[in-house]
Amino acid sequence: MTETDMSGATPTSYEGLQAREAIVRLTRELSEAGIDGAARDARLLVLGALDMTGADLLREPERRVSVDGAEKIASMAVRRRAREPVSRILGERGFFGRDFVVTPATLDPRPCTETVIEAVLEIAAREGWRERPIRILDIGTGSGALLVTLLAELPLASGVGTDISEPALAAARANAERLGVMGRAEFLARRTLDGVTGPFDLLVSNPPYIPSGDIAGLDPEVRQFDPRAALDGGADGLDFYRAFAVDAERVVPQGWVVVEVGAGQAEDVARLFRSAGQPGIEREIKVWQDLGQHTRCVAVKIQHYPSL
């Protein structure tokens, strides 16, 4: 039985078309379904279905769609019309110049999270981390995008990624293996900072920060396909930041905590870290904005006052 989407598209709709014609047809179908960025999505899906790269398309724009390719395109069209993200259909997402496997168990890494990487690399330059080994802790690692990227960018670093989901940890290990950093990474099943022992020089996290009551109003691509545990930050979205703020000095006695925050949360998160500081310990707060000019990252430097 052939698979048909709501517009009546079947594999025969694509069979024999040139690759560029298939992209045009799929663009039209996705546009009619109200999908934003239909042209971009259609290009990615057709190239994925035909196992082509962008360079292949430039060299062979007239390559014909085979029976197998037509079936794959039609199946992908059905899934995208149902609002499944392209990255989940293809099984991977580009992040900071590298491709990461994503699975139903992991959050889909998004461009705004690259702000955390940019912040850490700026801090690394300031602290001289490229010239010495440091230890990194990534809480709620998911696909491993943060930890794996930082280990790739800081070749003397080693790190630990934690998550409550064993399937997510399996995806993170797979990404660490395929990107060549598994020898410097360890992945553990933990919740927040429970059971984590330091010391670490750097804690990073993209924690759940959506207020529980807001999840129902998220875009279907997020609400239906990202794990709820990776989204739900409690009644006000700040539950995980409270845990980090209270326990930060135990695992990062002297170093940095760098976390992604939701739109409008930076001031509250900074306040939590300031108010939870221990006597004799200074917490310097810095923030970074993403490309949309939203404050997306809060960084906290933890250091002891010098003895008098």
Residues 139 and 215 in one domain: yes
Residues 27 and 133 in one domain: no
**What pLDDT does residue 279 have?**
67
Domain of residue 70, CATH code: 1.10.8
Q: Considering 37, 59, 82, which residue would you say is the last residue of a domain?
A: 82
Number of domains in the chain: 2
Establish if 292 belongs to a structural domain.
Answer: yes
Residues 67 and 17 in one domain: yes
Predicted TM-score (pTM) of the model is 0.90
Cα Dmax for the chain? 80
Establish if 25 belongs to a structural domain.
Answer: yes
**What pLDDT does residue 306 have?**
58
Q: Which residue stretches of the chain have pLDDT < 70?
A: 1-11, 277, 279-280, 305-308
Residues 37 and 100 in one domain: no
Residues 120 and 19 in one domain: no
**What pLDDT does residue 145 have?**
98
pLDDT digits (tens, 9 = 90+) for 95-117: 999 999 999 999 999 999 999 99
Establish if 102 belongs to a structural domain.
Answer: yes
Distance CA 103, CA 162 (A): 17
**What pLDDT does residue 2 have?**
43
Establish if 48 belongs to a structural domain.
Answer: yes
The three-point CA angle 216-218-219 to 5° equals 125
Residues 78 and 97 in one domain: no
Q: Are 122 and 153 within 8 A, CB to CB?
A: no
Q: Which residue range is the domain that position 73 belongs to?
A: 11-82
CA torsion angle 210 231 194 175 (round to 10): -140
Residues 228 and 271 in one domain: yes
**What pLDDT does residue 305 have?**
65
Residues 290 and 151 in one domain: yes
Domain of residue 106, CATH code: 3.40.50.150
**What pLDDT does residue 294 have?**
87
CA torsion angle 118 120 125 126 (round to 10): 120
Residues 69 and 103 in one domain: no
**Phi/psi at 234 (nearest 5 deg)?**
90, -175
Residues 251 and 150 in one domain: yes
Residues 213 and 264 in one domain: yes
Residue position matching structure tokens 């199946």 = 75
Residues 261 and 192 in one domain: yes
Closest-CA residue to 244 (of 202, 291, 282, 210): 202
What one-character DSSP code corresponds to residue 154?
S
Q: Considering 82, 110, 132, which residue would you say is the last residue of a domain?
A: 82
